Structure 1
Amino acid sequence: MFKPTSDRLDYSLLLAPPTGYETVFAVGTTYSLDLDALMGACIALGLSECTDSELKTNKLYLFEALRKTSDKLIIFCEAGQIKAPGKSNKLHLLLEKMVVEIAIRKTKSFHPKIWVVKYENVMKEALYRCVVLSRNLTFDRSWDVSVCLEGKPFSEANSDKTKPLSDFLFALVKLVNRYDLDRTKKKSLLRLGTELLNVDFRLESKVFTDFRFCPLGTPGYGKAQSGLFKSYHEMLIISPFLSNSIVSEFNKLALTSPHHNTLITRITELTKLKPESVSKFNLFVMKDIVIDGEEKISEGDNDNKKSQDIHAKLYLKTKYSDSELFIGSLNATQSAVNGNIEFMLKLTGKKRNLNVEALKQDIFGSNDRNNPFEQVELKPDAELPSPDTENLEEIIKKTCRLKSGAKVLEAGGQYSVELFFTGYHKSDNVLISPLRKPSMEKNLAAAIRFDNLDLLQLSEFYIIQVIGTITSIKRVIKINTENMPDNRESMIANSIIKNQSEFIQYITFILDDNYLISMLENANHAGSFQYDYQAPVTALYEKMLKATAHSPGKLIEIKQVLELITDDSKIPDGFREIYDQFMRVVKKNAGKTKVN
């Protein structure tokens, strides 16, 4: 179940609709967010494709993924924790209406990591999926854990079982400014929360006998309600970050037992612990050879390589013949337990099937040579995190909690943007720039103006850079903007679909995913797409005829694309007329269905 060498999960498969289903609405939460990783989630949710597909670099493919999911997806993240991309591209603009930043009390954070997705098949039968993770929506390759539940509507479902999950979604609406959440998406989110009360989630495992959603920090759901802080006979904790007081509390909850408990953490956290706080625990950290053995790329910069470590949050405890396993976002820290908004899934079972020894066997392996972890003693002289870095993060956090706004001004085809930050005083070590024009840096101040911007350089995303004495950090923030032109998506579509060849590729893709994927992969290998007007157009019309009978919704999607394309030279002669004929048939068939 937890063997690092074999029990791997594919993030794409956790989100992609099951065969025969399509995504209706999805809500995700994360602490930190990578915009390119969000694009990958859109590929999985909208096109049922892997996020590491070769076509992730094809802009036609990405544009369709974003177009299909833009009105069906909300991702909530901690304000100030959107990673600055190594290189921004125009498709990032389409993510603006998906991303909602949450800024709670100054010293607390929005830290849950879950997905709740509703799918439907052609018969309008609904399927719901809840994915609980320790992983952020980034490209971080540290070790994480996740668990996935699926369920269907059931009139006799136990609403008490899903009420905590429903309450969590309702609470999200109250955490954001009403201007930060699109009205239509707000309704969809509230509708999803209501529907969950009648969903019967099932455990597809004989190991577990029951489960419980634990939205810590949501009103009515705190430390006491979680059940995590109760006495036990044996316990295993995996937490990358620690507070001595919380670990000490777990230590005191241990009952008399011949077993030693296990705490797996990062080596940098050991300096926070006192010997008496871990007297009943054996301590383990990841071996240096494993930490340095696999490179991960951070913030889209191929030259910025970092080592991996654990990022999983897991608590397994046993008492008599019963076991409880908690998986999710909760670190063993004061801020996590007593202030942050977190989300955990509690799984219960019998000790004979779910126990610490079996879990250790999975994680540590059968011998020391293959064990990625090593037992350690406390090292008070271990290197502490850089105070400078922590201070820079605090500046970002404070900046994101200022009241801010922006307004677009147009003059002669060029644009200017005026920004304001209420209560902020100019600082020489904090810079801001438009996401799409990072070279236009200015010192952050109460009032700022950026001039001479093109349409596709306008964005609600801005890069904030804080420069310290030793290092600097960059983050993306989102600022609500008035008077934003509504034709940016059309401009993006026209810049990506450059000619009739690409128009046919795109429309064919809408009608038949597999056909176009195969075509585009061949085109990528060849380095170009050789356009033969007659054969593709004939095949395209055949697919439109088939869609008229079996998938009329695809013709509605084509209509949306036609509305975006402003240059008629990119559309084959006669296409609009034939499309109109097909649409008349669709409307006629729809009328017959209503009559019957």
Structure 2
Amino acid sequence: MPAEGFFDPDHRQLYTDLLRPPEGYRFEDAIATTYSLDFETALVIPTSIVFRDAENREEMLANPMALLEGVERMAGRLAIYCDRGMIKGARPDAARLMALYENTITEVSAPGGGAFHPKIWCVRFRSDTPDDFVRMRLGILSRNLTSDRSWDLCLCLDGVVGSTANPSNAPLERLLRKLPELANVATRPTAPVFLPALLKDLQRCHWELPLGATRVAFSVNGLGGDTWSLPKGERLAILSPFVSDQALTALRDGVPEENPCHLIARSEELDCLSPEVLGRFSVHTLDERATENDGEDNEARPSVELEGLHAKAYVVERRQRLQISIGSANATTPALLPQTAHKSNIEVMASLEGPISRMGGIDNVLFSESFSKLLAEYVPSDPPVNDDIRVAKRLLEKLRYEIARLALELHCREEGDLVCLTLVSAGQALPIALPDNVTCSIRPLTHENTVGFDANAFLQGESASLDLGELALGELTRWLGLGLRHEPSGTQLHFTLGARLIGLPEGRDAAVLRAMIANSENFFRYLSLLLGTLGEGIFGTESTGEGQWARQLGRPGSSLLEPLVRALCQGGPELEQIDRLLQRLEDPTGGASIVPSEFLELWESFVPFVKTNNKKKKGRTR
């Protein structure tokens, strides 16, 4: 891609493209970081890895069997870290499936008291040929792991793991190594098993540079040590949705005052800046008319729907060289000036550098014709007439931050077929000072009580525990839904927190699996996913009917018999996976099986071969 295309809104990349293996390679494992997260988007990720033809988010979310298979296969091969308190509220059906995925997501906090804000993906791929090099892919993003449709940026680098170290990767390695320690010490989960091997390969990975760049450098703010150096040069352009006077002043001081500096930010943020700081920049915003899509053909409009600016980039010209820095850091004090900020964020930045003769300059890289169409001159807004809602939102955000610092434990107690849940605070957490006009509710995300249980007395230390009702074993999850409400204004804030499960009954994962599959129709669909027989129609929602599946079971050319025989002949893992599935679907109470008897009769013919293959594999590992 030419350098001027880097900020071209017509050059799109799907989020899931980061996880697509190169030709002849397969996905091995990955670590991701994000500030905020929603469960629906997190569920799409493993599904898109397993089913490479899946690109439509809505189609994937409409097929719970495909989501279930994706989560099952990717368990233990993905690790996602997000800022504690920044998981969005979720529907009960998504939360139920996330019970199988809950060890994949770890909530962490920045040691400097600010936001855990980096957005990266570090992915490993292995070749189908054993002697080939391991390949890696690095994504440095401004986008969170959510369904947000804002205009974002991503730098995607492919690399090969060699025999020599690459010192430029040291900041990334330090960040990834530190991640498990950033979780609350009282409820900290174990680090991913694959993390040491991934870090070892990252140390020796050498990246293919794009855009005519001659070097790339990585920086991490908020963990001590070296931080991202503010760009200094003859010209500077800043692309940042959020801004502050102090950070912009520090950035502007790096450029001679007689040279223009460009600033592109959100209008509501620009309204909060001092006139003195604004006067030192040429200021633009995204033109709302240019980012709206009215459904009519119009060549002057971009081909994508945009809903506001979220991208962060710093472009500087210095001595006939161009530097493009992108990543998570806004032009704010907690992000860029951690040494002076009351609270400092964890941020990650990547800087590409090369000669202007090859990369271009600010005028044709950032202010290209296609991107300039999205810009408008900044016009100050009228001050808000009523600021009560804004004040209420700030209050609820402050309370969210304080509640998210708590280490929560969810104690389980079996009573018959149900599990009673009690929430307690682990460690020495101080009571939360809730104002009289604010209420807080907490509920297990899968509980039928969607209003939640009154948590004010618990959070204020007046009660040592909070009864959260009872759930069936297949509904049990560590995820809690919290709701804050400012009564005078009606302002509400909903978010999700994870608790550590204490006394989790055995067989929970199998119970979730049984609850998700639920009937023989879904069993056959899931079986087809295991065998890879649904092809491009995998994400369709049209049902063929339970009886039709059974009638096709043993016929020549049926949708299941032939792939079962093919799996047997090829010696792959499918038959072992089916055998394990059948064991997990057995009802421990002796209830009726969701697996049709016709299939069990057919499966008896394959059982001896499964046992034989298991013996062979055990013999090879001795």
TM-score by length of 1: 0.88
Shift of 1:343: 0.9
1:441 pairs with 2:446: no
- 509 and 144 in structure 1: CA distance in 2 versus 1, 3 angstrom threshold: same
Shift of 1:458: 2.2
Counterpart residue type for residue 465 of structure 1:
G
Secondary structure at 2:308's aligned position in 1?
Answer: coil
Cα distance in 2, alignment partners of residues 528 and 262 from structure 1: 62
Cα distance in 1, alignment partners of residues 225 and 181 from structure 2: 14
Cα distance in 1, alignment partners of residues 582 and 557 from structure 2: 16
CA contact (8 A) 1:29 1:77 kept: yes
Q: For residue 328 of structure 2, what is the aligned residue in structure 1?
A: 329
1:507 pairs with 2:531: no
Q: Which runs of 5+ in 1 are unaligned?
A: 296-305
1:263 pairs with 2:290: no
Q: For residue 180 of structure 2, what is the aligned residue in structure 1?
A: 173
Q: For residue 479 of structure 2, what is the aligned residue in structure 1?
A: 461
Q: For residue 128 of structure 1, what is the aligned residue in structure 2?
A: 136
Q: Find the partner of 1:432 among 442, 454, 461.
A: 442
Cα distance in 2, alignment partners of residues 107 and 523 from structure 1: 46
Q: For residue 582 of structure 1, what is the aligned residue in structure 2?
A: 609
CA contact (8 A) 2:86 2:496 kept: yes
Shift of 1:380: 8.1
Secondary structure at 1:407's aligned position in 2?
Answer: strand
Q: For residue 350 of structure 2, what is the aligned residue in structure 1?
A: 345
Cα distance in 2, alignment partners of residues 239 and 527 from structure 1: 52
Shift of 1:292: 5.8
- 123 and 590 in structure 1: CA distance in 2 versus 1, 3 angstrom threshold: farther
TM-score by length of 2: 0.84
Q: Find the partner of 1:2 among 6, 14, 35.
A: 6
1:30 pairs with 2:34: yes
Deviations 1:322-364 (A, max 9, x none): 1111111000001112111011111111112232101233375
- 325 and 408 in structure 1: CA distance in 2 versus 1, 3 angstrom threshold: same
1:412 pairs with 2:416: yes
Counterpart residue type for residue 217 of structure 1:
G
CA contact (8 A) 1:426 1:443 kept: no
Deviations 1:276-313 (A, max 9, x none): 32444210012232466589xxxxxxxxxx99210000
Cα distance in 2, alignment partners of residues 539 and 516 from structure 1: 9
Q: For residue 367 of structure 2, what is the aligned residue in structure 1?
A: 361
Higher relative contact order structure (alpha carbons within 8 Å, sequence separation ≥ 6): 2
Deviations 1:453-504 (A, max 9, x none): 2223322111111111321100001111101224232123223334445434
- 220 and 51 in structure 1: CA distance in 2 versus 1, 3 angstrom threshold: farther
After TM superposition, list the pairs within 5 Å mapping 1:93-112 onto structure 2: 93-105=99-111, 107-112=113-118
Q: For residue 255 of structure 2, what is the aligned residue in structure 1?
A: 254
Shift of 1:144: 0.3
- 280 and 190 in structure 1: CA distance in 2 versus 1, 3 angstrom threshold: same
User: Which moved further from structure 2: 8-17 or 282-291?
Assistant: 282-291
Shift of 1:552: 2.1
CA contact (8 A) 1:432 1:441 kept: yes
Cα distance in 2, alignment partners of residues 107 and 364 from structure 1: 40
Cα distance in 2, alignment partners of residues 343 and 499 from structure 1: 46
Shift of 1:71: 1.6
- Kindly, what percent of the aligned residue pairs are identical? 23
- 309 and 435 in structure 1: CA distance in 2 versus 1, 3 angstrom threshold: same
CA contact (8 A) 2:236 2:261 kept: yes
User: Which moved further from structure 2: 146-155 or 569-578?
Assistant: 569-578
Cα distance in 1, alignment partners of residues 13 and 315 from structure 2: 20
- 533 and 519 in structure 1: CA distance in 2 versus 1, 3 angstrom threshold: farther
Counterpart residue type for residue 260 of structure 1:
P
Cα distance in 2, alignment partners of residues 527 and 585 from structure 1: 35
Deviations 1:54-92 (A, max 9, x none): 243111111101111122111111111110025544213
Q: Which runs of 5+ in 2 are unaligned?
A: 296-304, 339-343, 588-592
- 557 and 363 in structure 1: CA distance in 2 versus 1, 3 angstrom threshold: farther
Secondary structure at 1:332's aligned position in 2?
Answer: coil
Counterpart residue type for residue 322 of structure 1:
R
- 569 and 91 in structure 1: CA distance in 2 versus 1, 3 angstrom threshold: closer
Q: For residue 374 of structure 2, what is the aligned residue in structure 1?
A: 372
Counterpart residue type for residue 74 of structure 1:
A
Shift of 1:36: 0.4
More helix by share: 1
Secondary structure at 2:221's aligned position in 1?
Answer: coil
CA contact (8 A) 2:97 2:516 kept: no
CA contact (8 A) 2:141 2:154 kept: yes
- 220 and 47 in structure 1: CA distance in 2 versus 1, 3 angstrom threshold: farther
After TM superposition, list the pairs within 5 Å mapping 1:237-316 onto structure 2: 237-255=238-256, 259-290=259-290, 308-316=307-315
Shift of 1:244: 0.3
Cα distance in 2, alignment partners of residues 396 and 131 from structure 1: 29
Cα distance in 2, alignment partners of residues 54 and 189 from structure 1: 32
Q: For residue 474 of structure 1, what is the aligned residue in structure 2?
A: 494
Deviations 1:363-387 (A, max 9, x none): 7546xxxx22111255684788812
User: Which moved further from structure 2: 319-328 or 532-541?
Assistant: 532-541
User: Which moved further from structure 2: 348-357 or 12-21?
Assistant: 12-21
1:154 pairs with 2:162: yes
Secondary structure at 2:171's aligned position in 1?
Answer: helix
- 123 and 542 in structure 1: CA distance in 2 versus 1, 3 angstrom threshold: farther
Shift of 1:199: 1.6
After TM superposition, list the pairs within 5 Å mapping 1:10-49 onto structure 2: 10-48=14-52, 49=54
Cα distance in 1, alignment partners of residues 547 and 115 from structure 2: 48
Shift of 1:53: 5.8
Secondary structure at 2:474's aligned position in 1?
Answer: helix
CA contact (8 A) 1:544 1:582 kept: no
Cα distance in 2, alignment partners of residues 128 and 518 from structure 1: 28
1:198 pairs with 2:204: yes
Deviations 1:160-208 (A, max 9, x none): 022221111111122124675543x5332233112211222222x2521
CA contact (8 A) 2:553 2:559 kept: no
CA contact (8 A) 2:322 2:354 kept: yes
Cα distance in 1, alignment partners of residues 562 and 620 from structure 2: 23
Deviations 1:140-169 (A, max 9, x none): 10100001111222113x330222211111
- 555 and 130 in structure 1: CA distance in 2 versus 1, 3 angstrom threshold: farther
Counterpart residue type for residue 162 of structure 1:
N
Shift of 1:99: 1.2
CA contact (8 A) 1:261 1:280 kept: yes
Counterpart residue type for residue 254 of structure 2:
L
Cα distance in 1, alignment partners of residues 116 and 559 from structure 2: 50
CA contact (8 A) 1:240 1:265 kept: yes
Counterpart residue type for residue 47 of structure 1:
F
Deviations 1:400-434 (A, max 9, x none): 11232221011122221111234325855121111
Secondary structure at 2:398's aligned position in 1?
Answer: helix
Cα distance in 2, alignment partners of residues 517 and 489 from structure 1: 28
- 413 and 91 in structure 1: CA distance in 2 versus 1, 3 angstrom threshold: same
1:140 pairs with 2:145: no
Shift of 1:535: 3.2
CA contact (8 A) 2:442 2:455 kept: yes
Cα distance in 2, alignment partners of residues 188 and 179 from structure 1: 23
Cα distance in 1, alignment partners of residues 397 and 186 from structure 2: 26
